[in-house]
Structure 1
């Protein structure tokens, strides 16, 4: 799996950027891509709606000979407060360029980076420096998948990159509304996480005319190969339902001025990957006649600023926002003076009582509202729409072209006294993956021209060492049935250890897939392989799964569209729930799925296929039962596998 992910990332990074015949062609491509970028982040609905008032409050003012500092906070959305400092140069004779400084992950954020914002003001920039929801004066959460095990974020299509970009966009709104600011000359800069958000803000907002991203640039091949991903906060990476490379996302900044600042001893952004990004983007900039607007400043340092890197940033912003050609060798560095922390606090230790920053991950991307179809025609339309959206945004990582899937039988065995048989077979899920399955049946063995028999398929669970546990779900099927087990990746011969769980899950999501979506594909291919075995009745197939594999069975049945019945053994009733333990072998996340439908609504779309729940009916699936009853059918609930009546399912 590790090698597969590394190769997948390498292919993604090597994918060439489009070649454009004219600037107009690039502009059209970029407009379409940017709209999808907004969609991927989940900010499209906020951009399309009328923006809510910022309700700016100033909690204090500090006067200096060179600038005026306003300690303020604003509401990027109602109740979502952003604390910041606005540095306004003294004696402005005309509107000045504005710079938004987005902080990296330091506990004190805007206070830690005060001398950077102050220096920008001394250079003539109206500068707004803002906290993230992770640190500063309100401690929200950036580490959902990084350390919390909140992989429901993947199903929501949420990463902290979305909220930080949105807060930055509203920060640009604040700057644009100030009389002291020329709204046609706005720039963004920051370090580390702030370097990444500088990129993503420029990609999302055309008002940004220049950025300087410090220690925030790299590509996914390096993040996986060197496992720097494991040290990265979630905010560095936008949600990626469309399977874009980071380079393809960075391309949305073109042809505007971008300075990439990169230490060559950075532990989280390897210099060779930065150089790769620069080289690829340089070709794009050159084709657009803007080669001088892209610059890489690499230097010997760890993951930090140096006087030389800061001076490069100041010179770049002076050139592209203020129209001043000031060499980095001439421009002055920060003065190093520090105002006391207490003097710079915006809230004074008491954030607004109605602040929603701590829960932003729960509501920023709203979940889809369940639909209750009142006719078979409406249900069919709901199902078609859901399948189309899932294929576009949740399962876009499926291999684009897959040849016929035929099983290769590796072992044929008779059970004593030769009344039954079983086969071990391999099948190719995709070029990298040769997976295994097992097929059982009563004598005689299937052969060309054999009478067709119904087939019950079950999915092997993680940790099912010998693969026998999966067959427990099929124990009540009579001898007239064929019984099969499929081993999706991560089970059986392709299992990996618990120490890889979180890396693999985060890596897959970065690339635009998940372990669950891979397993759905494996299941679809396995069913195709089984249909190619003589004697299998392709119209009488029952698919089953337990726990996390119930999620896989559910989506595979929906996408297949020709499954007679589905058995869900103790399924989760939502994707909107974290898996907090690093040892937990739970891989149920599906990118963006909650934007379209949670599991109960998805299960309802299986109608008219028969549906069986083993164990008590989870509360969420009452909706599924209600939809089935409206359609004139029913959902069967049994306490254990022995009570499943397979003959009633076909």
Structure 2
């Protein structure tokens, strides 16, 4: 827990070193922008036609009309929407996109905001999210369904919502009554975080006003506020950013941050912190006046002060009208003056048969197809491609420079093995000191081969020994507990929190375990009794995957021994997260477990018992490319 808090704090405090000076920002910003969009999982560079619109009716209200329709943001992904259009438009009007939060009914529940904006003269688009609208899809994957494989896919529901907002704006761009030079975005909670994302991603958004939608990473993880959050409230953070970095992508455009002071999800101290940091950054543009904070009393909700401040903000920045917020009427909350769901809904209970809303999580991110590899050259090229990708997108949180091992023998005995047993401790990463326990089947006064065995979480005493004693008979055997196992483990009731928090700060339990295994391999090579050219690694079940990736990234392992390795990262967990944490950020965009034996060549791979069917791909590649194969040991 301390480690997660430490790394979250490092992300939050490191904004200044990542943002640099305004002079440097001109070259840094395009890189940060591309990384942000990549983490969302789509491209902003491709040409886009306007989305197809399916009208379903119009409602005339006093001073404005409501156009009901749904639009197709992707093939067969339909978005129910209402457009509030002021009467008597003579020339293009400023427009606001209202981004719905996590409330049932969506465009129905938040209609009072759209109505008030229309009364103030703004064309206002409000649409359903994929979670709680006319069709109920899924925002809560890792949160309460055990879909931690979303992290491996590189998927986050925030990306779908952002894409739907961008496509909604693409539609507004086709309308003669919309002034595309004056576009605003606002929303609360999930709609608040989407307001940040939308303005950061789409430069057409001139002014944005997020409400209760952002906090620094140190607060989210360190205060465990993350535990109350939907998965959509932070992107798939492979490039290790803080919400302040998202704000930097909005600068110097107008930004009003509205936050309540007793919000369970966002500590006001956290808001003060990133507001202060962003204000200083806006000052680099001589635009400090463009960022403001409205603080209101209460929990995770609007307040009349924040609503009216937002109206005043949009009037000023989108219509060039300076109107004191206290003079602006608040939203109408009397149910008698609002419309029921059956008036505002567009599907009338029958969405399009082909609608993907309930299953978009399975197709939004295109996972990598296994490549066809027929030669040593093609294998080498793909090995390098995969490892380069993983270094920056999956293992990007690995330390830039490794700590000194500061190795120490902490236990020794002449018992337990033919030539005794030694235990060494060493530094893996800051805050993590691990132990490697070596059983000597060969004399300690000569260099001998070594097999490093990764212990499994929850294993019985001597269980790994029973497995390893059948392997590599001429090797000494070393046993390692990586993070999450044994002495360096944590209580199982923390698994769910650790898995989600780790992903929010750009790593996973599996990536941390892979780093530990790689460090142990390197440490063992420094020992005088170890032949550094003859080190192998072994693991069972989930730890077999850790062993595979460690061997591939290490590039020096002679052999790897696997027992019952998982065939894919794309599998769910129990909703409480209490199984092996197999997820690796973005890995399925480039490879999968069954491909790693081939990609680890020339390391040879030995399976205990049968080779799982999916691994036939690696066996086939090795046969065709290098005239080798996967091996079986009994």
TM above 0.5, one fold?
Answer: yes
Runs of 5+ unmatched residues, structure 1? 644-650
Do structure 1's residue 62 and structure 2's residue 59 form an aligned pair? Answer: yes
Do structure 1's residue 84 and structure 2's residue 78 form an aligned pair? Answer: no
Q: Distance in 2 between matches of 1:23 and 1:486?
A: 47
Which residue of 511, 517, 526 corresponds with 2:520? 526
Tell me: CA distance 1:164–1:255, structure 2 relative to 1, closer, same or farther (3 Å): same
Which residue of 587, 591, 594 corresponds with 2:588? 594
Do structure 1's residue 378 and structure 2's residue 375 form an aligned pair? Answer: no
Question: 1:340: how far off?
Answer: 1.5
* TM-score, normalization by structure 2: 0.97
Which residue of 450, 455, 460 corresponds with 1:455? 450
Question: 1:438: how far off?
Answer: 0.7
Q: Distance in 2 between matches of 1:35 and 1:186?
A: 22
Counterpart of 1:318 in structure 2 is 315
Q: Distance in 2 between matches of 1:273 and 1:569?
A: 46
Question: 1:304: how far off?
Answer: 0.9
Matches within 5 A, 1:502-517: 502-517=496-511
8 Å contact kept, 2:50–2:171: no
Question: 1:28: how far off?
Answer: 3.0
Question: 1:617: how far off?
Answer: 2.1
Do structure 1's residue 131 and structure 2's residue 125 form an aligned pair? Answer: no
Question: 1:584: how far off?
Answer: 2.4
Question: 1:531: how far off?
Answer: 1.0
Tell me: CA distance 1:599–1:350, structure 2 relative to 1, closer, same or farther (3 Å): same
Q: Distance in 2 between matches of 1:24 and 1:10?
A: 27
Q: What is the CA deviation profile of residues 342-386 of structure 1, one whole-angstrom value per residue up to 9, with x for unaligned ones?
A: 111111111110001111111111001111211111111110111
Q: Distance in 2 between matches of 1:258 and 1:103?
A: 18
Secondary structure of the structure 2 residue equivalent to 1:110: coil
Tell me: CA distance 1:579–1:401, structure 2 relative to 1, closer, same or farther (3 Å): same
Question: 1:453: how far off?
Answer: 1.3
Secondary structure of the structure 2 residue equivalent to 1:74: strand
Q: Which moved more, 1:321-330 or 1:28-37?
A: 28-37
Counterpart of 1:9 in structure 2 is 8
Q: Distance in 2 between matches of 1:366 and 1:482?
A: 44
8 Å contact kept, 1:565–1:611: yes
Q: What is the CA deviation profile of residues 152-209 of structure 1, one whole-angstrom value per residue up to 9, with x for unaligned ones?
A: 1111111111111111100111111111101111111001000000000111110000
Tell me: CA distance 1:163–1:316, structure 2 relative to 1, closer, same or farther (3 Å): same
Counterpart of 2:354 in structure 1 is 354
Question: 1:454: how far off?
Answer: 1.2
Counterpart of 1:442 in structure 2 is 441
Counterpart of 2:418 in structure 1 is 419
Runs of 5+ unmatched residues, structure 2? none
Tell me: CA distance 1:317–1:615, structure 2 relative to 1, closer, same or farther (3 Å): farther
Counterpart of 1:299 in structure 2 is 296
Which residue of 483, 491, 499 corresponds with 1:497? 491
| Number of matched pairs | 630
Secondary structure of the structure 2 residue equivalent to 1:146: coil
Question: 1:49: how far off?
Answer: 2.5
Q: Which moved more, 1:569-578 or 1:26-35?
A: 26-35
8 Å contact kept, 1:74–1:83: yes
8 Å contact kept, 2:454–2:480: yes
8 Å contact kept, 1:185–1:321: yes
Q: Distance in 1 between matches of 2:466 and 2:368?
A: 35
Counterpart of 2:344 in structure 1 is 344
The 4+ residue runs of structure 1 with deviation greater than 6 A are: 19-22
Question: 1:22: how far off?
Answer: 7.3
Question: 1:600: how far off?
Answer: 1.8
Matches within 5 A, 1:168-187: 168-187=165-184
* TM-score, normalization by structure 1: 0.94
Matches within 5 A, 1:175-574: 175-336=172-333, 337-405=337-405, 407-415=407-415, 419-442=418-441, 444=443, 446-447=444-445, 450=446, 452-464=447-459, 466=461, 468-477=462-471, 480-574=474-568
Secondary structure of the structure 1 residue equivalent to 2:209: strand
Question: 1:257: how far off?
Answer: 0.5
Q: Distance in 2 between matches of 1:300 and 1:352?
A: 43
Q: Distance in 1 between matches of 2:325 and 2:554?
A: 60
Counterpart of 2:630 in structure 1 is 635
Q: What is the CA deviation profile of residues 89-125 of structure 1, one whole-angstrom value per residue up to 9, with x for unaligned ones?
A: 0011110011111100011111001111011011011
Which residue of 93, 100, 108 corresponds with 2:97? 100
Aligned alpha-carbon RMSD (Å):
1.6
Question: 1:441: how far off?
Answer: 1.0
Q: Distance in 2 between matches of 1:497 and 1:528?
A: 29
Q: Distance in 2 between matches of 1:198 and 1:477?
A: 56
Q: Distance in 1 between matches of 2:22 and 2:424?
A: 54
8 Å contact kept, 1:473–1:544: no
Question: 1:443: how far off?
Answer: 5.5
Q: What is the CA deviation profile of residues 232-274 of structure 1, one whole-angstrom value per residue up to 9, with x for unaligned ones?
A: 0011111111111221222111111111000001110111101
Question: 1:471: how far off?
Answer: 2.5
Q: Distance in 2 between matches of 1:25 and 1:561?
A: 36
